[in-house]
Amino acid sequence: VELLDKLKQFDLPTTLRICAGTDGSVTYLLEVMTHNKVEVITRCQKVITATDTIAKMLMIMPGEPVNHREVMLQVQGIPYVLACSLAPVSTMPQCIKDDLMQADIPIGRILREHKLEIRRDILNIEIKSGEKIFNDIPVLSREYVIIHDEKILIWINELFPVDDRWDV
């Protein structure tokens, strides 16, 4: 409810507010919203070693392997979301390991296909300006974790450009 109040403060297009507020899959909402398939453009995909900061975020031990992924979700060439994710490799359920460490499948689709029971806990939502990624357009940034089996499956930071591309 606190985050909801926060979302209210920003002057956002309704569809962006909904995508940024959902506790469901953003990929799926984008597809419903645009009537089109979401394309995933991979900008980065590698296994890193958890620093102290990352270990705290993921509730793992420093030094453990973490899958780092940065993908742009776009529809018909228009980018809607840049999603950066960190996923602990050691505790990752075997059934989704291959898909999750591949670059080109959106996380929402992976969870749905493997019928995982999860919850999404939204941690923070804020407006940032001066982000180069969307050509200096202000971005709405939200952080959340996907919890499975009482462990953090993935930490995600999504950046949404705030402009009229959301008026669909």
Binding site for a second copy (CB under 8 A): 4, 7-8, 14-15, 17-18, 21-25, 28-29, 31-33, 35, 108, 111-112, 115-121, 147-150, 168
Residues 89, 50 contacting (CB under 8 angstroms): no
Query: Smallest distance, Å, CB 142 to a second copy?
Result: 12
Written as one letter, the residue type at 28 is: Y
Residues 48, 60 contacting (CB under 8 angstroms): no
Query: Smallest distance, Å, CB 160 to a second copy?
Result: 13
Query: Smallest distance, Å, CB 139 to a second copy?
Result: 18
Task: Please identify, using beta-carbon distances, which residue of 101 and 147 lies nearer to a second copy.
Answer: 147
Rounded CA gap, 83 and 158, in Å? 4
Rounded CA gap, 44 and 153, in Å? 19
Query: Smallest distance, Å, CB 150 to a second copy?
Result: 8
Task: Please identify, using beta-carbon distances, which residue of 20 and 71 lies nearer to a second copy.
Answer: 20
Task: Please identify, using beta-carbon distances, which residue of 9 and 94 lies nearer to a second copy.
Answer: 9
Query: Smallest distance, Å, CB 30 to a second copy?
Result: 10
Q: At 62, give phi and psi (nearest 5°).
A: -55, 145
Find, among 89, 98, 83, 103, the residue nearest to 49 by Cα: 89
In this structure, what is the dihedral angle of CA atoms 129, 76, 119, 99, given to the nearest 10 degrees?
-120
Task: Please identify, using beta-carbon distances, which residue of 14 and 135 lies nearer to a second copy.
Answer: 14
Return the H-helix or E-strand segment holding 5.
Answer: helix 2-9
Task: Please identify, using beta-carbon distances, which residue of 48 and 168 lies nearer to a second copy.
Answer: 168
